[in-house]
Amino acid sequence: MPRSLGALTVLVVLGALGMGEAAAQADSVPRGQRRPRPSVGAMVGYSRSDLVGRDAEGLRSRQGALTGVYLQAPLARPLSLRTEILFALKGGRAQASVQGGGTADLDIGLAYIETPLLLRVGSPRGQFRPVLFGGLAPALQIGCDVQVMDPNQPVGATCGEADFAVFRSFDIGAVVGGGIEVSWPQSALSLEARYTSGRRSVVNDFEVHNRAFGMVLALTF
């Protein structure tokens, strides 16, 4: 056997032995003492949103949806950092005058892609774990619709077509929440409640802010 080939064979054998020893050492570490790994997940839930502020008198809440995915990275226990990409429906309802007299509900629907960055605190032990979280949620508006809920003649249009107001395309919210997480060796399921308060007016020249309460189921794996 040529000398170079023999040396390569020895290196391969030594490398394989080293990998086997490292794997054996990793298996010998108790599961509870292993370093936590980053995880991904998905969530789906219900939200109730409204528009609040100095110029939001008479506005009422509307129902919406909250869905998305996330990446969760462990920090020093019991902290972790979660980045999310969410589709959120927000907006509100108000009373509007209609032609011929009378009033009808005016439904304002705002659709956003949110990217919350959240710091989470959770118990590192036990199957049932309480969690708390908070952070900021930049949001890009991807849809804006206005609909007059007149039973005789419902009318709907985009905000631009209705010339209703100039809605801003970017918002940023403060998020706080908590819940309970059920943990298994390779996954976790949590029920969470969250409150999001918009820090920027959604309409030019007025003080009208988004506000939303949400309940979501989140599956981490």
Q: 160-209, pLDDT tens digit by residue?
A: 786 666 889 999 999 999 999 999 988 999 999 999 999 999 988 889 99
The arithmetic mean of pLDDT across residues 74-100, rounded, is 87
Q: 102-118, pLDDT tens digit by residue?
A: 667 788 999 999 999 99
Decide: pTM greater than 0.85: no
Integer CA distances (angstroms), 74 to 36, 38, 77, in order:
6, 6, 7
User: Which pLDDT score is estimated for 146?
Assistant: 87
Q: Is the dihedral of CA 79, 39, 221, 24 positive or negative?
A: negative
User: Which pLDDT score is estimated for 5?
Assistant: 39
Q: For residues 141 and 186, give the distance between their C-alpha atoms in angstroms, rounded to a whole number.
A: 35
Amino acid identity of residue 172, one-letter, is I
Closest CA relative to residue 199, chosen from 95, 53, 46, 26:
53
104 and 149 Cβ atoms separated by less than 8 Å? yes
User: Which pLDDT score is estimated for 118?
Assistant: 98
Domain boundaries defined on the chain: 1-34, 35-220
User: Which pLDDT score is estimated for 77?
Assistant: 87
CATH code that applies to domain 35-220: 2.40.160.20
Q: 19-49, pLDDT tens digit by residue?
A: 444 444 444 545 445 567 899 999 999 999 9
